[in-house]
Amino acid sequence: MSGLTVESDVDQASAGQRPARRGAAARRLVDRVGRVRELGILVALVVVVAVTAVANPAFVSPQSLRDLLLNASIIALLAVGQTLVVVTRNVDLSVGSVLGLAAFLTAQTFAANPGLPLLPGLLLGVLIGLACGALNGLVVAAGQVPSLVVTLGTLYVFRGLDFTLARGRQVNAADLPDALLSLGSGRLLGIPNLVLITLVVIAAGALYLRAYRSGRELYAIGSNPDAAVLAGIPVGRRVFVAFTVSGAVAGLAGALWMARYGTVDAAAGTGLELQVVSAVVVGGVVISGGSGTVAGAALGALLLGTITSCLVVLRIPAFWQQAITGALLLAAITVDRLVALRLAAALRRSSRAGRRDEGG
């Protein structure tokens, strides 16, 4: 009798472990698909650089490679914050305007206060972006208004505020402290400072999404918002935080934009939002939410920036640069859809096989 009881307990424990094993297998499948996407971006990047290097060997010189990384750094930085938003099944179209507003106000503050230390001045840019992101998050999360509508509106509101405050003026490099300009043009161990800062932010974003519960919950929200609510996830709070972080990162990007270019006016960052969304989607972050990585988004930014530089080197008209970017965006969305369908089919087959095993 006791032997039957022990055997029954073992069977129940085994049955309880089966759903967990299927869930682990599903997560491994999703992770494998993500790694394949990122590997594909790396392969495409190598091919683009190799083809251009054949036509112009100077393209792979150390200085040229540093310039490629530097040119992609601002977009990659913005892509980190955008990734947090997109995985929740939302989008932030205001990042370019937030960057421009933070860049001008920070530059104006430095110009009006020559003795201002570097760190507090940069922090001002982050706080400006954080306030803009919090406004977006509040309207989206508390007001239940679609993020596309909200951020399209704030894109124009923030840009209009920027032009109102600027009043046609611009801040020149001669008005900014040398330490700030050195940050934008300097290097550490041969790597541009802006690239190093971007890498730190990418690493922090990747760690948050992978290692922290609140970060993993963003994926759950994007996969199925209704199920996330039933699971007890504070959806509104998480979405609010995602938009706030996106704004803060855009504010930091604005301060670094000012440090790099020196001359800043109210038009800084115009149109960057489309480049950022393109980089995120090309980098494997599914526009319908629930999947993607910060590293993939950064690689997407690097790939698009490299393609633009390659086309310039090959003297291809600017129209084709935009056309190729659009084609890559459409291709990425198509691949995402096909992968999602095949992944769903694979998970259904796995689930049916698991049920048959349980029934057997």
- The DSSP output letter for 14 is H
Cα→Cα distances 229→190, 211, 222, Å: 48, 21, 11
Question: Would you list the domain boundaries of the chain?
Answer: 38-344
Query: pLDDT tens digits for 250-260?
Result: 999 999 998 88
Helix or strand or coil: residue 187?
strand
Encoded tokens for 314: 């090959």
Secondary structure of residue 192 in the 3-state scheme: strand
The CATH fold assigned to 38-344 is ABC transporter involved in vitamin B12 uptake, BtuC (1.10.3470)
Give 232's pLDDT tier (boundaries 50, 70, 90): confident
Q: Is pLDDT above 90 for 243?
A: yes
pTM confidence score: 0.82
Tell me the pLDDT of the chain averaged across its residues.
81
Lowest mean pLDDT among 10-24, 31-45, 197-211: 10-24
Residues 6+ apart with CB under 8 A from 317: none
